[in-house]
Amino acid sequence: MNAAEIISQDLPVLTPGESGENALILMEQFDVKHLPVVSGDIFMGIISEEEILLLENPTSAFNSIPHDLMQISVDANSHLFDALSIMSNYKLSLLPVTIDGTTYVGAVSAPDLLNQLTDMKSVKAPGGVLVLEMPERDYSLTEIARLVEENDAKILSASITSSVSQEYSEVTLKINRQDLSAIIQTFERYDYTIKASYQKQRFSDSLQNRYEELMKYLNI
């Protein structure tokens, strides 16, 4: 799924002729801290609530105030992971979607992006989560999948992160079984290190809490 597929039609834009005062009203109304500035269909940049509050005269139009807009956007054809990376790096409450960085086609809000990612990663599907740790040279998703399937289970999603030294990998698996006991025993039999497991209600409660915390963080 690419960024263009999850554009929100409800998010407003600012024009160069609008004032900082009006921008603050829109930000409060739509519960965001950033808004794109667009002239026709040309993307001019992003302005933040913080920048507006620092303006000498917030009632003046943007085009009469000397300031630089943030030139941050994601290409319409970029994957959702690219959008997430940009939004996280710049701590944005919304991310403009453009064609070649110039033509504005819409914006993606942080909650909408998160909801799409949770669906993609099977977070809402019933099951358990297993976290394995191993030397990077030993990582094989084919082997891991085979051991899971030996227990009549399937991997719904998988992600891998590397340590700073890149010597070890941490593999997080979402599995379509709530009771992971047999699967854990299988991995231990093959000398895999089980770093963590989340199953049954304990996983659901933990996931819900973390989801709510992340939503609060993204609602910058």
Q: How confident is the model at residue 215 (pLDDT cuts 50, 70, 90)?
A: low
State how far the Cα of 43 lies from the Cα of 39, in Å rounded to an integer: 7
User: By mean pLDDT, which of 54-58, 120-124, 145-149, 205-209 is the weakest?
Assistant: 205-209
pLDDT in tens, 38-72: 999 999 999 999 888 887 777 777 665 556 788 99
Residues 6+ apart with CB under 8 A from 173: 129, 130, 131, 132, 144, 148, 155, 157, 158
- 123-142: per-residue pLDDT in tens? 667 788 899 999 888 888 89
Q: Is the pLDDT of residue 162 over 80?
A: no
Predicted pLDDT at 116: 78
For residue 85, which phi and psi values (nearest 5 degrees)? -60, -45
Q: Do domains 3-117 and 122-218 have the same CATH topology?
A: no
Query: Where are the domains positioned within the chain?
Result: 3-117, 122-218
Phi-psi region of 45 (alpha: psi -120 to 50; beta: other; left: phi over 0): left
Structural domain 122-218, CATH architecture: 2-Layer Sandwich (3.30)
Confidence (pLDDT) at 201: 47
> What does the pLDDT read at residue 220?
46
Q: Which residues contact 90 (CB under 8 A, 6 or more apart)?
A: 70, 72
Residue 141's alpha-carbon distances to 64, 119, 160, 172, 173, in angstroms, are: 57, 21, 10, 11, 10
Q: Residue 5 has what pLDDT? A: 85
Distance, in Å, from the CA atom of 93 to the CA atom of 154, rounded to the nearest integer, reads: 35
Convert the pLDDT of each residue in 85-111 to its tens digit.
888 889 899 999 999 999 999 999 888
Highest mean pLDDT among 6-20, 52-66, 197-211: 6-20
Q: Which of 128, 153, 14 is nearest to 70 (CA)?
A: 14
Residue with tokens 């992600």: 159
pLDDT given at position 212 = 54
**Which tokens go with 71?**
């030139």
> Mean pLDDT lowest for which of 9-13, 75-79, 121-125, 194-198?
121-125
The pLDDT value recorded for residue 203 is 46
Arch. (CATH architecture) of 3-117: Roll (3.10)
In terms of DSSP bridges, do strands 94-99 and 74-75 run parallel, antiparallel, or are they unpaired?
parallel
- Cα separation, 52 vs 96, in Å, equals 18
Runs of H (alpha helix) within 152-199: 181-189
Confidence band of 204 (pLDDT split at 50, 70, 90)? very low
Question: Average pLDDT of 14-40?
Answer: 91
| Average predicted confidence (pLDDT) for the chain | 83
